[in-house]
Amino acid sequence: MKLPKIATVWLEGCSGCHMSFLDMDEDLLNIFSRVELTDSPITDFKDFNFQDVALGIIEGGIANEEQVEIAKKLREKSKILMVWGDCAVFGGINTLRNAFSTQEILQRGYIETESTVNGAIPVHESLPVLLEKALPVNRFVTVDVYVPGCPPSPDAIAYCLNEILQGRIPVLPTDMMHFD
């Protein structure tokens, strides 16, 4: 029997959600025995040419043009798209920059910091263009499943994955919407 395929990406965030995924302990072994993990930061993939998957998972918000394209590509290739963590669900801590212009952020980060000597704003064709605002994933693509938390608990992630593997779109129980 063919195993359902899962792909995950880490966008504008800290990797805490993927760490919670790995912290599922025995539940992780149960999940991995029932799925094929294709593209993921865990498998150290280098491109974003996703294959068709049963489940696409995004960690992190969206703050640059490359991340918009990655989210759109994964949405296109996924039957179900799940987002993990407050950055992906709400925009998270990344939205703190939204009170400032992109130019102000770059100026402060690369020129005005106290430890900067001879700073310059980097410009190179390989660097993605920043968006004016950091935003949650659903501002760019349709999301089917939301798993809030910073990070979401391993139990919440396991619950949602198990529900999807049983053919159901999960609705996270209220008592799982926090991290102890």
Residue 124 belongs to a domain: no
- Strand, helix or coil at 132? strand
* Residues with Cβ within 8 Å of residue 139, at least 6 apart in sequence: 62
Q: In the structure encoding, which two tokens stand for residue 158, read together?
A: 């396991």
Q: What is the pLDDT of residue 153?
A: 92
Q: How many domains does the chain have?
A: 1
Q: How many CB atoms lie within 10 A of CB 176?
A: 19
Q: In the structure encoding, which two tokens stand for residue 68, read together?
A: 């918009």
Torsion region of 15: left, alpha or beta (phi above 0 gives left; psi -120 to 50 gives alpha): left
67-122 confidence digits (pLDDT tens) = 999 999 999 999 999 999 999 999 999 999 999 999 999 999 999 999 999 999 99
- Bridge partners of residue 58, in order along the sequence: 9, 83
Supply the CATH number for residue 164's domain: 3.40.50.700
CB-CB contact of 138 with 4 (8 Å): no
For residue 14, the enclosing domain spans 5-98+131-176
Q: Which amino acid is at 40?
A: S
Residue 83 belongs to a domain: yes
Residue 118 belongs to a domain: no
d(CA 28, CA 21): 7
pLDDT above 90: residue 175: no
